[in-house]
Structure 1
Amino acid sequence: MKKLFIFLTTAVSIFLLAACSSNTDARNLLEQPIKKDATTMGTYIQVTVYDKGKEKAVEEALKIAEKYDDWISVDKAGSVIAEINDKAGLQPVKVNSDIYELIKLGYNYSAKNMGYDITIGPLSKLWNIGFPDARKPEQAEINAVLPLINHQFLEFDEQKSTVYLSQKGAKLDLGSIAKGYTAMKMVEYLKNNGVTTGIVDLGSSSIYVIGQSPRNGGDPWTIAIKDPNDPEKSQLGILKARDQHVNTSGIYERYLEVDGHRYSHILNPKTGFPFDNDIASITLLISGEDASNGDGLSTMIYALGTKKGYEYVQTLENVQAVFVDKDSKVYITEGLKDQFELTNDNYKMGKIDDLK
């Protein structure tokens, strides 16, 4: 029960504000939405739909999350990822098309060599941040697992639909990309089954808004970004979104404190230690249907730090970002000037050109 409590109280970076009102528009939507939830994938998941007669679609969307949890949980006996890890250096494992695609996306991110590696499993297990037995490993322990982290150990056979970790002891960890990808699959299912207006919320750190808010004929959805210095009680600002994905990574979501130092759960596959840069949190606003955008992208951008991360976002299509640094400065990319409002007096808007 303690493990569950940790997950439910840490992924609180973003949330929906007053999604509905008595002014429901003329699109034949419900005043009171269909709302169902589940606890799976190590977090609390909620699906909210305003279209009439979509109860079954909402139930089936939640089952998608439960299905992915069965497939990807590294600690769940019989999961696909556990089997791949157990057979590392021994033999390939046949996987279904969904898992094949997800692992391949993680591999493609890793191949950019920008601070993300899908084979970080041996290191994340060593630290185990977010779990009751989290600890700071000895340097010798870290040195022992670093050679096991290399996405090039992954071998794919598209014809046979197999995935193989060629190095014994190597381990996949999909925790940093699975939620956003699963949310996208849930949204895809809901849309294909006639849902035009709704919310898919995975742990509040990964939210998809479908269509427009039911307010006043179709206002944008209003999404609050939590204050990284006081995530339980305070918000930083608000984003306006239509048919978009909002994803946040931050140092406060899961961390370990040792001798007065806070270690983030976002680990550097090169050093073996959590990244220690100037970012307190990063929130991405993503448009389009690209399955590779989401959790993995925010993790990779986080690894770059504010200045380089901002510059990288500027090269991407359909992605905007809100960066919050440890000096309580907020930086937004150009496309968010009319979509973001800072609401917390403890923070100031910064100029990216002032950063070195």
Structure 2
Amino acid sequence: MNKIFKYKSRWFLCLLSLMIFIGCTNQSTQTKELAVSKTPLTETETYLDTVVQLKIYHDGQEKVMEEAFDLVRHFDDIWSPNGTKSEVKQINQAAGDHPVKVSKDTIDVLLDGQPYEEKSQGYFDLTVDPIVRLWQIGTDQARVPEESEIKAALPLIDYQQIEIKPDEQTVYLPQKGMGVQIGSIAKGYIADRLKELFESKGITTAIINLGGNVVVMGQSPSREDGWNVGVQDPDETRGEVVGSVIIKDSSIVTSGIYERFFEQDGKMYHHILNPKTGYPVDNDISGVSVFTKESVDGDALSTTLFALGVKDGLALIESLDEVEAVFVLKDHRVITSSGLEGRFQLTNDQYKMETINAYRGN
């Protein structure tokens, strides 16, 4: 039985920008407003199994850049599934035995996921680790599990069983074999923490890109209305976009079935798993991009929308404030939430726009 493993970068954005001058406050003030540099300070490294690229559009911010990557390394240490300092690994190993003392960040990221576990009716579930371990998609050991294995794992997936005690900073999984998997929300959380760091240093113009989780700070120096952000064509590895939208001080998170997958016996199996069935989500979506103020929200929602499908996903987006989404379907139709109608510009003639009205509830 042949397996063909294909991995595609999760670079799902095209950010078009040049620099403009922002200005500087009086030197006598306690906090100096940083002037914008014509060329950004850029650093790219690999952590959390993804490419992390940070761009700071101000001169002399090498120390801040160093602090930013120290922060990324910290999260890589405590959240990598198999790291020696991994708090996620400790929680999972202690399942059914004892609570584990963890950092405030681990408590916070688990709590951040709870509203979306509820809103999605369990289609977004941070205890999905038992089936993630079975499939191992994204590794050389990826495989299609036996149906008996999946049936045995499904009862262990239940976000309502997680016992989180913020005051004691402990997490407990009551059944042996349970496990948390925070990859569906971690990068969004980290992007928000990096933005907070930059803001505390007076940085106003920057791009934070954690492999598909992008935060743009301020506005593009080449235009006064924001950043022109392109939504990646999920059928292409990189560079080709479906369309674009202008955003400012915002996050965009894009997920697609072509990010991480493998083929077995001529069938493709992608990494977005349905916690209720134990198999990859099977619907007509190939990519979804979510626009939010906080990146952690977009991260959780991108997975949630995939599982819910277009109709229920749009209904959820329409019920939320300051949240928008672009759905790219396998048949090359593109549907946006109502707040992006007239704002999202389709630029790829291989795709066609479809009105949201076709998906509104009766």
Question: Does TM, scored on the shorter chain, surpass 0.5?
Answer: yes
Pick from 351, 355, 358: which aligns with 1:351? 355
Measure how far apart 1:297 and its partner are: 1.4
Indicate if the aligned counterparts of 2:187 and 2:296 stay in contact, CA closer than 8 A: no
Where does structure 2 lack aligned partners over 5 or more consecutive residues? Answer: 24-34
Distance 1:125 1:286 in 2: 30
Contact 2:14 2:239 in 1 (8 A): no
Query: How many corresponding residue pairs?
Result: 344
Specify the SS of the correspondent of 2:202.
coil
Map Cα deviations across residues 25-61 of structure 1 (whole Å, 9 max, x no partner): 3433111111112210111101101123322112211
What is the distance in 2 between the residues matched to 1:160 and 1:233?
A: 47
Query: Within 5 A, what are the aligned runs for 1:169-318?
Result: 169-203=177-211, 205-216=212-223, 218-287=224-293, 289=294, 292-318=296-322
Q: Which segment is superposed worse, 219-228 or 121-130? A: 219-228
1:13 and 2:12 matched: yes
- AA aligned to 1:273 is Y
Shift, 1:261, TM fit: 2.1
* Partner deviation per Cα, 1:282-335 (whole Å, 9 max, x = no partner): 101112x4x751211110111111111111101111111111111211111222
Q: Find 1:79's aligned residue among 75, 86, 90.
A: 86
Greater than 3 Å deviation, 4+ residue runs: none
Any idea what SS the aligned residue of 1:225 has?
strand
Contact 1:197 1:210 in 2 (8 A): yes
**Separation in 2, partners of 1:35, 1:13:** 18
Structure 1, unpaired ranges of 5+: none
TM superposition score normalised by structure 1: 0.92
Provide the C-alpha distance between the structure 1 equivalents of 2:22 and 2:196, rounded to a whole number of angstroms.
24
Determine which of 302, 308, 319 is the counterpart of 2:323. Answer: 319
Q: Distance in 1 between matches of 2:74 and 2:229?
A: 28
Give the SS at the match of 1:310: helix
Please say which of residues 311-320 and 109-118 is displaced more in the overlay.
109-118
What SS is found at the alignment partner of 1:16? Answer: strand
Alpha-carbon spacing, 1:87–1:303, altered in 2? closer, same or farther (3 Å): same
Shift of 1:66: 1.3
**8 Å contact 1:181–1:294 — kept in the other structure?**
no
CA distance in 2, matches of 1:206, 1:143: 33
Q: Distance in 1 between matches of 2:279 and 2:177?
A: 19
The CA distance in 1 between the partners of 2:205 and 2:6, in whole Å, is 31
Instruction: From the superposition, tell whether residues 160 and 192 of structure 1 become closer, same or farther in structure 2 (CA, over 3 Å).
Output: same
Q: Is the 8 A contact 2:207 2:214 kept in 1?
A: yes
Give the AA of the match of 1:25: F
Deviation (angstroms), 1:195: 0.5
* Secondary structure of residue in 1 paired with 2:149: helix
Distance 1:166 1:198 in 2: 42
Q: 1:108 to 1:168 in 2, by over 3 A?
A: farther
| Residues 176, 296 of structure 1: 8 Å contact kept | yes
State whether residues 111 and 151 of structure 1, in contact with CA within 8 Å, keep that contact through their aligned partners in structure 2: no
Q: Secondary structure at the match of 1:199?
A: strand
Deviates further, 110-119 or 63-72: 110-119
The two structures, once aligned, show a CA RMSD in angstroms of 1.8
Aligned-pair identity (%): 40
